[in-house]
Amino acid sequence: MNMYVKAKEYASADEMMAEYKARQDRTRHQQNHESAIRSLRKQNSDLRAALNKANAERMSLAKGLIEARGEVCEKVTELQRLQTRLASLQARIPDDIPEALPVKDIIVATLLAYPGISLTEIFGQGRRKPVADARKACMRAVYTQRPDLSSTQIAAVFKRDHTTLLHAVGATARSKAAE
């Protein structure tokens, strides 16, 4: 194995200097390229990091948007269900329900046919025939004019049991049928 390298021989000092400068220029040029490559690699790395960060943020926003859309869909479904329920309940309400008179007005109007009998007697415990007949007539009038009230509610107005109301309504109907 030969350990010695033979040096190149130059014809002149100028030729040697020219080759030396050319070698230095190549080295500088190569160093400039390497520096530029390092710079580009750094920029590439920074851009990839920024791109990864932007992608992660975009994915997070997309996930949030999907969740928000899901919540909106649930709310819309709930709203549609409630609107359907409201429409079905409104359909049950008859359109021809007249404005209901207050119970007291119905009783006062009925008592006009029974002079001498007061409201306190109607609501009281008296059992005289004229008072009982007037009370029955008032009960029947309220029962027929206010179908929205139950017999228990109407009887409570007169401070009676609902069976008393039903008897009064039936008795009035029977007496009219007998006439």
Over residues 143-163, the pLDDT tens digits come to 999 988 999 999 999 999 999
Residue at a domain's end among 93, 126, 143: 93
Burial letters 153-175, b for 16+ CB under 10 A, else e: ebbebbebeeebbeebbeebeee
What is the average per-residue pLDDT within 58-66? 92
As for how many domains the chain has, the answer is 2
CB 95 within 8 A of CB 143: no
Give the integer Cα–Cα distance in Å for 169 and 139.
7
Mean pLDDT of the 1-27 span: 78
Confidence check: pLDDT of 30 > 90? no
Of 49, 64, 93, which residue sits at a domain end?
93
Number of Cα atoms under 13 Å in the Cβ half of residue 141: 21
Indicate whether 114 and 50 sit together in one domain.
no
Residue 174 banded pLDDT, cuts 50, 70, 90:
low
Of 141 and 25, the structure prediction assigns the larger pLDDT to 141
Residues 32 and 89 in one domain: yes
Let me know if residue 5 belongs to a domain.
Answer: no
Q: What is the pTM of this model?
A: 0.46
**Do residues 159 and 123 make contact, with C-beta atoms less than 8 angstroms apart?**
yes
Percent of the chain having pLDDT more than 90? 54
pLDDT range class, residue 107, cuts 50, 70, 90: very high
CA atoms within 13 A on the CB side of 111: 17
